[in-house]
Amino acid sequence: MDARPERVFEYMGSPENHLNVMPSLQRIENVEAVPSGGHRGKFRFKMVGIPIDGRFEDVEFVPHERRVYEMSGEIEGSMHYTFEPENGGTRFTCVMDVAFPSKVLDTVLRPVVRKYNEREVETMLANLKTIMEAERKTPQAA
């Protein structure tokens, strides 16, 4: 995307900004800083029409390079973001790994959830690209 890694990291390092890029994310609340430089808080995500409440906490937070947060609650897993310089912009990579705490639910829903999350991540990446590039092209006041 046509934005520097520092800018993309700054944007995606703020949990509240995820509401602008993740279509199924409904709420972020009780956000607080953690010693690593990241955050922890609560979220509500709607997956396949089902509201899911959980908590998140950054476990890796390397400015301008990497952010990893773990999720717990009604869904468990992690999100891994990497920010790499590429052709004057950023190559942003997102890997989502989620599971339901119940083995039965996880086994039954895994194929549906995998496909749903693939679309969610694709949409998130497209939304982030649009936001980052629109901000870069917006004329600044002199």
Q: Provide the pLDDT for residue 142.
A: 46
Domain range list for the chain: 5-137
- Fold designation for 5-137: Alpha-D-Glucose-1,6-Bisphosphate; Chain A, domain 4 (3.30.530)
Q: Provide the pLDDT for residue 105.
A: 60
Q: Provide the pLDDT for residue 135.
A: 65
Which distant-in-sequence residues (6+ apart) come within 8 Å of 57 by Cβ?
Answer: 34, 38, 39, 40, 69, 70
Q: Which H or E element spans position 108?
A: helix 103-137
CA of residue 7 relative to chain centroid, distance? 15
* CA–CA gap between residue 19 and residue 15 (Å, rounded): 8
Per-residue pLDDT of the chain (142 residues; tens, 9 = 90+): 899 999 999 999 999 999 999 989 999 999 999 998 999 999 998 877 788 899 999 999 999 999 999 999 988 899 999 999 999 999 999 998 887 666 546 566 667 777 777 888 888 889 999 999 886 555 555 4
